[in-house]
Amino acid sequence: MSRPGASRSSSSSSSSIEGGTRRSLSHQPGAPLRILLADGDRDLRRLVSLVLRSDGHEIVEAADGRELLEAIASLVIDGDRLFDVIVAAQAIPGLPGVSVLSGLRSRGRRTPFVLMSGNPVVQGQARRLGAIVLDRPFDANAIRRAVQQADALTLKT
């Protein structure tokens, strides 16, 4: 399991920073992404991580709200490489996923966000804030589609 903020990468390619997302100017759809994955369920987090890593993505894991916020804060404090997508469960211990999403949006951060939730009310809130919703229960293909949709949103902005 990765520690939030533990992976540091530097890139010599041209990049742009837009609302908390750093993208290579030559980014192509389907290219590997740096994804922050937050879920309190260790087994589910490992499964989602395995699926996304098998597609070539770099994953930084967070087990609770504190670790999630530390990983996001490390971008500013430590200068870590920004996340291309954040995938978070609504029911992360310590901080609801939609609260993290709302906080990012209120600060002008447009980082693509995938919220995992089975609650229709929370799903509606997340969609209004521009998130992709991954309805529980889901399978590996649904995880992949949600990340691809989030990636496509970034490329449009």
Residue 18 lies in a domain: no
Among residues 156, 143, 147, 150, the alpha carbon closest in space to that of 129 is found at 150
Residue 12 lies in a domain: no
Residue 23 lies in a domain: no
For 106-134, b where at least 16 C-beta lie within 10 A, e where not — what string?
A: eeebebbbbbbbebeebbebbeeebbbbb
What does pTM read for this prediction? 0.81
Q: Please give the chain's pLDDT, 157 residues, in tens.
A: 443 443 333 333 333 333 344 444 445 667 899 999 999 999 999 999 999 999 999 999 999 999 999 999 888 777 667 899 999 999 999 999 999 999 999 999 899 999 999 999 999 999 999 999 999 999 999 999 999 999 998 755 4
The encoded tokens of residue 62 equal: 């967070």
Residue 42 lies in a domain: yes
Instruction: Write the CATH number for 105.
Output: 3.40.50.2300
Residue 97 lies in a domain: yes
Residue 118 lies in a domain: yes
Residue 26 lies in a domain: no
The encoded tokens of residue 84 equal: 């291309």
In this predicted structure, what is the pLDDT of residue 101? 96
Number of domains making up the chain: 1
What is the domain range of residue 76?
31-156
What gap in Å lies between CA 136 and CA 113, rounded to an integer? 16
Query: With contact defined as beta carbons under 8 Å apart, do 38 and 89 qualify?
Result: yes
In this predicted structure, what is the pLDDT of residue 29? 66
Strands 21-24 and 58-62: unpaired
What gap in Å lies between CA 133 and CA 67, rounded to an integer? 22
In this predicted structure, what is the pLDDT of residue 155? 58
Q: What is each CA distance from 30 to 46, 57, 84, 157, in whole angstroms?
A: 22, 10, 12, 16
Residue 139 lies in a domain: yes
